Amino acid sequence: MSTELFKYDSVEVCYGEKAIVEEISFTLKPGEILGIAGESGSGKSTIIKAALGILGPSGKVTKGDIRFQGKNLPDLTEREMQKIRGAKIGMIFQDAGSSFCPVRTIGDQIYETLAAHETIQRKEAEERALELLGKLGFKDGRRILESYSFELSGGMNQRIGIALAMLLNPSVILADEPTSALDVSVQKQAVEEMLLLRELYGTAMVLVTHNIGVISAMADAVLVLKEGKIVEYGAAKQVLNAPREAYTKELMDAVPKLRRS
């Protein structure tokens, strides 16, 4: 098997006529976590949305390739992308927790998500969800499945949203500010859970966040983005311990670090 799971090659994305990100290249190996850092508006979310085909009506990949399992994602039809999104490429957004529907239980929604991608019985879907929640240390998995999202705290919803991105066993997860809305202690817990998921399932991850602390706690490689261009890309140790660019140092000085425990 190729060691390249997911690869951007000189990608440019435009909204309308305006190029928002340019010359974006990186490679993700199985199980690798790449952190993408950069100030607000630097194009972090745009990079992720380009792979998922969710740039909206004015957004378009205008140059380069985004290769996944031998395919160039921007060439695929919406129908083909629907089979990939969520199932082969998992997604976690800042508001993953609030994307649960308020009038159906968490368990109902898990079943629907799984049933949309594979033939599965309700009981099996529940067992799989309980097993996953158990591995993450949730002691009350059954209660969670029977709950409506409004019965759980915001932090709990987000942690469940993160866990559920794993249920279809994607080989890559694209996470956009997955912990940014959480308070510091829940953020730490969610970071530990994401690392545990990577260990258990070997999932690779692109982790977009303006929080270098989260990146230093999780990433194997770091890409620093400024005004739509890469200013630095390399092993996390190198970029974080010996940043070459003043911009990277500024980002690092701007936030307190979360330590790997």
Ligand X SMILES: Nc1ncnc2c1ncn2[C@@H]1O[C@H](COP(=O)(O)OP(=O)(O)OP(=O)(O)O)[C@@H](O)[C@H]1O
**Residues that bind ligand X in the complex, under the rule CB under 6 A:** 15, 20, 38, 40-46, 56, 58-59, 210
Minimum distance, C-beta of residue 43 to Mg ion, in the bound complex (Å): 8
Nearer to Mg ion, 46 or 147 (CB): 46
User: 19 or 195: whose CB is closer to ligand X?
Assistant: 19
Q: Are 13 and 62 in contact (CB under 8 A)?
A: yes
CB 181 within 8 A of CB 95: yes
16: alpha, beta or left? (left if phi > 0; alpha if psi -120 to 50)? left
41 binds, among Mg ion, ligand X, none (CB under 5 to 8 A by kind): ligand X
With CB under 5 to 8 Å by kind, the binding choice for 46 among ligand X, Mg ion, none is ligand X
Residues that bind Mg ion (CB under 5 A): 45
Q: In sequence order, what are the residues at sequence separation of 6 or more whose Cβ sits closer than 8 angstroms to the Cβ of residue 25? A: 8, 9, 10, 11, 64, 230
Q: How far is the CB of 162 from Mg ion (least distance, A)?
A: 17
Residue located via tokens 């607000």 = 40
CA 184 to chain centre: 19
Measured from the CB atom, is 107 or 228 closer to ligand X? 228
CB of 14 to ligand X, least distance (A): 9
206 φ/ψ angles, rounded to the nearest 5 degrees: -105, 120
Q: Between residues 106 and 251, which has the closer beta carbon with respect to ligand X?
A: 251
Across the chain, where does the E strand assignment appear?
Answer: 6-15, 18-28, 33-38, 59-68, 71-72, 89-93, 172-176, 204-208, 221-226, 229-235
Nearest distance, CB of residue 18 and Mg ion, angstroms: 17
Please say which residue, 16 or 41, places its beta carbon nearer to Mg ion.
41
Q: Which residue is nearest to Mg ion (CB)?
A: 45
Smallest gap from residue 176 Cβ to Mg ion (A):
6
Nearest CA to 136 among 104, 115, 165?
165
Which one of ligand X, Mg ion, none interacts with residue 169, CB within 5 to 8 A by kind?
none
